[in-house]
Every structure is written in structure tokens, then in C-alpha cells.
A and B are shown apart, each in its own frame.
Chain A
Amino acid sequence: SQQGEEDPQALSIQEGENATMNCSYKTSINNLQWYRQNSGRGLVHLILIRSNEREKHSGRLRVTLDTSKKSSSLLITASRAADTASYFCATDRRDNFNKFYFGSGTKLNVKP
């Protein structure tokens, strides 16, 4: 199975701290993307990193990709209570752009 797994499953931090979430996957990928889901709501795209990239930044987000270890990390710096949500990684394969494989998600709780 391609599906990635995130760890930790749950993370609770204080506002202002950094949050790091990890994602692992099993087969070669084309892209890896991170999405956020507020409780019971839709998936919001955060950032895309291509297989030939190692690091990408977007505002307070930093994503790394290590294709040799088949893993990625999402770092949220200076977290805010509004960052409380579940975070998922999604991958698509080189030979198939047609579907995403989602991980099981990390539930982040940022305490004010």
C-alpha cells in the first residue's frame, strides 16, 4: 500500500511553541502535499513539495522531504490556537497522478 502514516497521532502544545509532524510513505512518489482539516470540516491545502525538492517554506510552515527515507516533516513555527486541527499528508505516485493516498493524520491541539 502507498498510504502514508503520520506521527505522532496526537500532539498537544502551548501557543507559541513549534509543532513538528512526520509522515512516512512506502513507494516512490511524484509529490507530497500537506492538508489541514478542522474538526468535521473540509481539507485545506497547505503546501506541496515535489520529489526533487528537499525543503519548502510557506509563511510559518516548513516542509522537508527525504526520499531516501520516504518521509516528510511539517513544522509549524510559533503556533497559534487557530492552528488546532488535524494535519494529513497526501502522496501521489509517479505513474499515477489520479489519486492521493492519505495518511492517518496528526491531531494537533494548541493550547492558548
Chain B
Amino acid sequence: EPEVTQTPSHQVTQMGQEVILRCVPISNHLYFYWYRQILGQKVEFLVSFYNNEISEKSEIFDDQFSVERPDGSNFTLKIRSTKLEDSAMYFCASRGTGGDTQYFGPGTRLTVL
């Protein structure tokens, strides 16, 4: 069964460093999302992406964040200068055209020291 994959599973970085989180959505899906979950808290929407552009972003998704679909398969989230409060689990999700379900990847746990 097709699934969303994410790498790495765990990323440890120093405050101020740049990180890139990678996702491979389900191959025929066209809508892509990033969410995050701070430990013990709700899953929060960050950004949605369709047709090579951001369709919506939350207040969390400030200028430090960017997303890209560099090729036909990868979808990346970049955090330019990480802060301690960026420590969280980051989930990628994808959705097919005409479908309402978002399929989530296993997540990347980001730890900022």
C-alpha cells in the first residue's frame, strides 16, 4: 500500500542552524501539507502546498520556514535558523485529487539544542 515517507526520523541540531526535513508523498497525490506537534500538545497545521505554490500557511509558518518541491517526488520543509521552540515532531501529509483524507508520514522528531 502506498505510504508517505519522511527522513530523517530524528534530527538533532544546534540553535541557529538550518535544517531540511524531507518527505516523499504518495506518488499520485497533488496536495501536500506540513504539520507539527510539540510534545504533549495538539497537532498544528503549518502549511499546505498545491501546484507548486503555498495555498495556505499558519501564523507559525513565518519567514524562517520555507517549503519546496524540488523534483517530482520530494517535498521539503526548511527551517532557516532554528530556535529552541522549534523542537517538535514534524509530520508531512499528502492528499489525492478528489479525496478528502490526508495521509500522514511517520514524522521527523526535531530536537533543537
Contact = CB atoms under 8 A, between A and B. Distances in A.
A99 B48 CA distance: 7
Interface residue SS majority, chain A? strand
Interface string B20-57: 00000000000101010000011111001010000110
Contacts of A40: 89, 109
A43 B42 contact: no
Nearest to B48: A98
Contacts of A45: 101-104
Contacts of A92: 100
B95 to A, nearest CB: 8
B101 A33 contact: yes
Interface residue SS majority, chain B? strand
A43 B101 contact: no
Interface string A91-112: 0100011111111110000000
Contacts of A88: 43
Given A30-B100, A42-B91, A43-B91, A98 B55 contact: yes
Interface residues of A, number: 26
Contacts, number: 57
Of A43, A90, A96, A97, the most chain B CB neighbours within 10 A belong to A43
B100 A48 contact: yes
A27 B94 CA distance: 24
A31 interface: yes
Contacts of B100: 30-31, 33, 48, 50, 92, 97
Nearest to A88: B43
A43 B56 contact: no
A100 B41 CA distance: 15
Nearest to A97: B100
Contact of A102 (B42, B48, B56): B42
Interface of A: 3, 30-31, 33, 35, 40-45, 48, 50, 88, 90, 92, 96-105
